[in-house]
Structure 1
Amino acid sequence: MKRYGLTLAIFIFLSLTYYCYLVTINRNEVTKTKLYAAGDSVVYSNTEYLKDVRRSNDGNMAFEVPLSEIMEREKKFGPLKSLQIPKQEREKEYSDRDNLPQNPDSKEISQYPERTPNSHNHKSTNNDSPQTLGINFNGVSLSGTNPSGYYPPDVMGEVGPAQYIIHVNGRIVSFSKSTGLVDGAINTTTNNFFAGIMTNSPGTYTTDPRIRYDRLTKKWYLLMIDVPQPLANRVLLAVSPDSIITSSTVFRFFFYQQSKAFLDYPTLGLDANALYIGGNLYDLSTDEFVNSNALVIKKSSIQGTGPMVITDLGGLIINNSGPFTPQGVDNPDPNATEGYFIGVDKGSFGTLMIRRVLNPGGTPSLSPNIPVTVPTTSKPLKVPHLGNTGGENGRLDALDDKLFMAQMRNGSIWTVHNIGVNSSGTTSNPTRNGSRWYQVSNLNSTPALIQSGTVFDNSTNAANYWLPTIATSGQGHSAMVYCIAGANTRINMGSVGRLSSDALGTMQTPFTITNNTSFAYNPPADPGTAGSRRWGDYSCIRVDPNDDMTFWAIHQWCNGENNYGVYVAELKAPPPATPYEISPPNVSIGSNISVNLIGKSINGSGFFDPGSGFTNHLKVAIDGVIVNSVSYINDTTINLNVNTEGAVRNSTRLVTVTNPDGQISSASIFKIVPSGTPDKFVLWQNYPNPFNPTTKIDFDLPENANVSIKIYDISGKQVAEVLNENKQAGYYSYPFIANGLSSGLYFYSIKAVTENGTIYISVKKMMLIK
């Protein structure tokens, strides 16, 4: 009996101890969120799974964890349900950006170079976006399929050779790039994924996701921070062994321990030498902003088991000047020798601040602050949205004027942020939010603004464009993605783009990607505070590593009543240029010859090849002809080496051009002729026929002759002359462009008068359809 009583007493004691432990954790979770949530969702997952977690105590050495082990925990414990608490807003607490002085050299203009009265004449005449929508799908939601459970998700994703991986607060999930369907490789919570390297402290959770696929190392890099309470936090990093994530993948995990401050809003840039992690530091006791920070990880040091070589370059702000929320800059150039951080200036509007990173693959060091003057900027406004029932607190937060990601292309940095603007797109007396983008060049000498523009709604009941991200492809085309909402506008995801040939400072026509026409966003668990409701920290748009021309964008939208979705959209580049001409125009049977394929660009269409190091390349096929080699010259010219041995003569052969993204353009323009001199006069049928507005007229000339080719309408009136000159015997092809002519039936005739007086005349019909 005594033994039974002792056992009962021990059981009661242990039960009470465990209950007190849970109460303590819950009390800590509730009372400490304000101090450390600060821009990061407060979400406490079921911690039962932590009993099965192997932990690393050395962040510099690779901690190898099979993905199967991570997914087994997910399966064993089921969905790791979360207590959803809206994340507090460290960004809002930093109020100094409310009343910053304007750079006195900044002009109050909406685009640079400044618009002139006739500048609209230099814009593209295309009324559509240069990108078209390809595969698109909703990948994650607040609740439902692939739930995040976080307020907000902090949208991030990346495209690889075969997969698209969504990495948001509360969820990492992979999809087939070709179908948009979940591929089953990874689908787990972020807390479970990073569990082995998170701070071992009650209530710790992960936030602020970043992800990159690196074409040079053929690896994935996933980054987050943890939020321990009340401790300095860690930067968490996972590296894949190769380019395809499968159930047998073994990730290598590293972490960097902060010592005296909390690193918030980590950014991530990647180049041939290093990973560049920027962020803002906050005091552990007061939660006040301390400085911005830059970390550089030597990329070669994390390709194996370590040790990771990381350099903390310290505070970037000196005397109230320097990059606030510095963005590490992505650079796909395999020959890069310098790295970069860029941000808005801490002490003024109208200024970007750059820091060069010297010797990033060795012992990194920073340049002094390098200011770049841009058109006037401002802090964005809170965003109204149709269906809001929460008043001012129900508006959506646009954060501040920090930059959202930065990418380098051909010596230029492209970056973007949201600012408050008026109906002219400038910053005085702002009434809406616009998305301001920049191209900054001359980075090796004195960086300077090449162009900038503002995407905004100039109507009276304006929509807001906020949380934007921009990217530029190998073709030089650019695409931007953002959220759209307004007092009369539902919350959706949108995009806008520009061609490399468009006038500086301009974009083409914006379009909406998602289709929310009825849902409102008033989640009961997130009523909003301090004048707004959190919506997110950023978005992402990236260029496909296989073809260097397709964009993949991800952003947030309202996909159900009081629910948000995370939407992925493939944005396809313009198709190849239309094959128009072969030079020389006729190729003899039995030839092995180089020819130029000339294309016609329509609304940005063009040939493209990404160069070495990419999987996909430009291809050309010609019916009945062997194409030995394809050499990209420019967007309208390809050099081909062809072999016509054994080819059978035909008037024309179909030429098919396939760009690296798989889009096709074709036309029958390749003419094979017998070798030597024609044995008779022939006028061939024009091709294509019907046509609009260009066609080709071929003829064979057995003798030297004066040749005239004329065009007549159906009444017999001459409307054009294609040719009138002496020609040597041979095979000929001439274009006819029917500009100024209306649709209908036309006739074309040839008259050839030889040196001995022989006359050859022939007439054929052709149809113009406009």
Structure 2
Amino acid sequence: WADFPTLGFNKNWVGINVNMIQFAAGTALSNRELIINYPSLRTGVFSGGFVAGTNAVTAPVITYSATENTLYQVVHLSSASGTYRVDTITGTAAAPVYTAGATLTRTGGGWTQPTPSGQILPQAAPLSGTSACGAATPCKLETQDSFVRSTPVFRNGFIYYAQTIGLPAGGTLTRTAAQWTKLTATTGAFADGGRVDDPTATATNGGKWYAYPSISVNVNNDVMFGFSQFASNQFAAAGYTYRFHSDAPGLMRDPIIYKAGEDYYSKTFGGGRNRFGDYSMTQVDPSNDKDLWTLQEYAQARVGTDDGNTGSNSSRWSTWWARVAFDPTGIKVVISGRVLTSGGRVVARAHVTLTDLENGQVRTAITNPFGRYQFADVPTGKTFLLSVTAKGYEFTPQVLNVIQEVNDMDFTAQ
């Protein structure tokens, strides 16, 4: 059966790489890529076939170009050596030719390979109840490995990809980091890259671990880099960072945690693997090719205290979106929240005003039937006054210095 499909495309082909697993033994047999004639597919006619012998988790790129004839593929080879390969599909739409690239070495050296099925990502103990791993020992989450498990991007002659790595290099793993890499497409040579990493982190000291990264790039070469964050004193959270095209090489801004984890998570379905992070992605907005969105997993509030090793226990995961609106004058974000009575009931049709304390500009939003309001395209680096008006209620205004997206700017009546 076909496991872990990775999909990319250009104007000529759609490539879907899969790991072929044996039913009886559950072991990997081979790797194949289905190459589909894209012009034919767009007319509703399937034409294509499999190429055998690709590497495990070969990652075809999403190609943002109407003229690029080559469909590139990123292949992770060795963590210790920091090596990779860039394979290509060339030829015509009807007659594709798959070519394996040469082994290349990533600038900056290697790292430690996270164990593919290792349960090493730390988390805090349950808010209530007892962990299946022991009262004072919260079960850890699976980290996967350093294969390129999110879709790479081709943009303006470069390839961008993300992977989870273990650190320090050449020693006993004490933490994981999210690594991004930029390659020159035609040669595969390293062009830029960096890591989101907390060098002080261990499994027990509250330091931050990062895993399950994904990356996307807009038409101006601005970059968004999403990931999940883990620590022994917190629950699995959703985050991102970003860079402007004009930023210095290797630079990413400080990590932004836009959705904090809500509770402990452990769900092994009886198989011993506490999986996480598969439903994560970062993507450019197709409406303007400038805004970037990330969808990341976080640990949701549990529905009870059952921590049994089944799929029906109390743990829950969820996903949360975040958007970065790149603008020549700076990043723009979303500010949102709820308006509530003193008893915790929602207040619909309340008027929320957002006043720019620098220039006096005022915007107004009205809460929906669930008591929620939202302001989009709020510039960072500025200070705003938020106030609420609702018949029969009084609310205390709040001052907000906007440095990142805020989705819990709630107001409760006095």
TM-score under structure 2 normalisation? 0.68
Q: Are the counterparts in 1 of residues 85 and 188 from structure 2 also a CA contact under 8 Å?
A: no
1:687-698 matches, within 5 Å, as none
Select which of 429, 453, 456 maps to 2:197: 456
Offset from partner CA, 1:432-472 (integer Å, 9 cap, x none)? 1100110010x33x320011211111234212110000111
Q: Are the counterparts in 2 of residues 528 and 534 from structure 1 also a CA contact under 8 Å?
A: no
Q: Determine the C-alpha separation between the residues in 2 that align with 1:413 and 1:263.
A: 26
- The equivalent residue for 2:301 is 560
Q: Determine the C-alpha separation between the residues in 1 that align with 2:79 and 2:34.
A: 22
Shift of 1:475: 1.4
- The equivalent residue for 1:543 is 284
- Cα distance change of structure 1 residues 408 and 529 upon mapping to structure 2, 3 Å threshold: same
Shift of 1:361: 1.4
- The equivalent residue for 1:357 is 89
Larger radius of gyration: 1
Matched, 1:417 2:156: no
- The equivalent residue for 2:112 is 378
- The equivalent residue for 1:521 is 265
Secondary structure at the aligned position of 1:301 is classed as: helix
1:401-416 matches, within 5 Å, as 401-403=146-148, 404-416=150-162
Where does the alignment leave 5 or more consecutive residues of structure 2 unmatched?
303-314, 333-375, 380-414
Shift of 1:312: 1.1
- The equivalent residue for 1:326 is 58
Read off the aligned partner of 2:274 and give its amino acid letter: R
Q: Determine the C-alpha separation between the residues in 2 that align with 1:538 and 1:292.
A: 22
Q: Are the counterparts in 1 of residues 5 and 18 from structure 2 also a CA contact under 8 Å?
A: yes
Q: Percent identity?
A: 21
- The equivalent residue for 2:2 is 263
- Cα distance change of structure 1 residues 430 and 359 upon mapping to structure 2, 3 Å threshold: same
Q: Are the counterparts in 1 of residues 324 and 331 from structure 2 also a CA contact under 8 Å?
A: no
Q: Are the counterparts in 2 of residues 324 and 345 from structure 1 also a CA contact under 8 Å?
A: no
- The equivalent residue for 2:28 is 289
- The equivalent residue for 1:759 is none
- The equivalent residue for 2:48 is 310
- The equivalent residue for 1:298 is 37
Read off the aligned partner of 2:300 and give its amino acid letter: N
Q: Are the counterparts in 2 of residues 349 and 378 from structure 1 also a CA contact under 8 Å?
A: no
Secondary structure at the aligned position of 2:6 is classed as: coil
- The equivalent residue for 2:217 is 472
Offset from partner CA, 1:639-666 (integer Å, 9 cap, x none)? xxxxxxxxxxxxxxxxxxxxxxx9699x
Where does the alignment leave 5 or more consecutive residues of structure 1 unmatched?
1-261, 317-322, 578-602, 606-661, 666-770
Secondary structure at the aligned position of 2:235 is classed as: strand
Q: Which structure shows the higher helix fraction?
A: 1
Q: Are the counterparts in 2 of residues 434 and 466 from structure 1 also a CA contact under 8 Å?
A: yes
Q: Are the counterparts in 2 of residues 357 and 364 from structure 1 also a CA contact under 8 Å?
A: yes
Read off the aligned partner of 1:303 and give its amino acid letter: R
- Cα distance change of structure 1 residues 276 and 393 upon mapping to structure 2, 3 Å threshold: farther
Q: Determine the C-alpha separation between the residues in 1 that align with 2:263 and 2:188.
A: 45
- The equivalent residue for 1:255 is none
Shift of 1:604: 7.4
Read off the aligned partner of 1:288 and give its amino acid letter: T
Offset from partner CA, 1:286-327 (integer Å, 9 cap, x none)? 332222222211112222342x111211112xxxxxx43101
Q: Determine the C-alpha separation between the residues in 2 that align with 1:515 and 1:497.
A: 18
Offset from partner CA, 1:3-52 (integer Å, 9 cap, x none)? xxxxxxxxxxxxxxxxxxxxxxxxxxxxxxxxxxxxxxxxxxxxxxxxxx
- The equivalent residue for 2:257 is 512
Select which of 130, 140, 152 maps to 1:395: 140
Q: Determine the C-alpha separation between the residues in 2 that align with 1:357 and 1:500.
A: 28
Offset from partner CA, 1:174-200 (integer Å, 9 cap, x none)? xxxxxxxxxxxxxxxxxxxxxxxxxxx
Shift of 1:362: 2.4
Read off the aligned partner of 2:40 and give its amino acid letter: S
- Cα distance change of structure 1 residues 398 and 376 upon mapping to structure 2, 3 Å threshold: same
Q: Determine the C-alpha separation between the residues in 2 that align with 1:387 and 1:344.
A: 34
- Cα distance change of structure 1 residues 491 and 363 upon mapping to structure 2, 3 Å threshold: same
Shift of 1:527: 6.7
- Cα distance change of structure 1 residues 360 and 486 upon mapping to structure 2, 3 Å threshold: farther
TM-score under structure 1 normalisation? 0.38
Q: Determine the C-alpha separation between the residues in 2 that align with 1:477 and 1:663.
A: 17
- The equivalent residue for 2:356 is none
Read off the aligned partner of 1:553 and give its amino acid letter: T
Shift of 1:394: 2.4
Q: Are the counterparts in 2 of residues 280 and 291 from structure 1 also a CA contact under 8 Å?
A: yes
1:147-186 matches, within 5 Å, as none
Shift of 1:393: 8.6
Q: Determine the C-alpha separation between the residues in 2 that align with 1:471 and 1:456.
A: 19
Matched, 1:571 2:305: no
Shift of 1:283: 2.9
Secondary structure at the aligned position of 1:394 is classed as: coil
Shift of 1:429: 2.7
Read off the aligned partner of 2:319 and give its amino acid letter: V
Q: Are the counterparts in 2 of residues 576 and 663 from structure 1 also a CA contact under 8 Å?
A: no
Q: Determine the C-alpha separation between the residues in 1 that align with 2:167 and 2:78.
A: 20
- Cα distance change of structure 1 residues 481 and 664 upon mapping to structure 2, 3 Å threshold: closer
Read off the aligned partner of 1:390 and give its amino acid letter: A
Q: Are the counterparts in 1 of residues 160 and 181 from structure 2 also a CA contact under 8 Å?
A: yes
Q: Are the counterparts in 2 of residues 478 and 500 from structure 1 also a CA contact under 8 Å?
A: yes
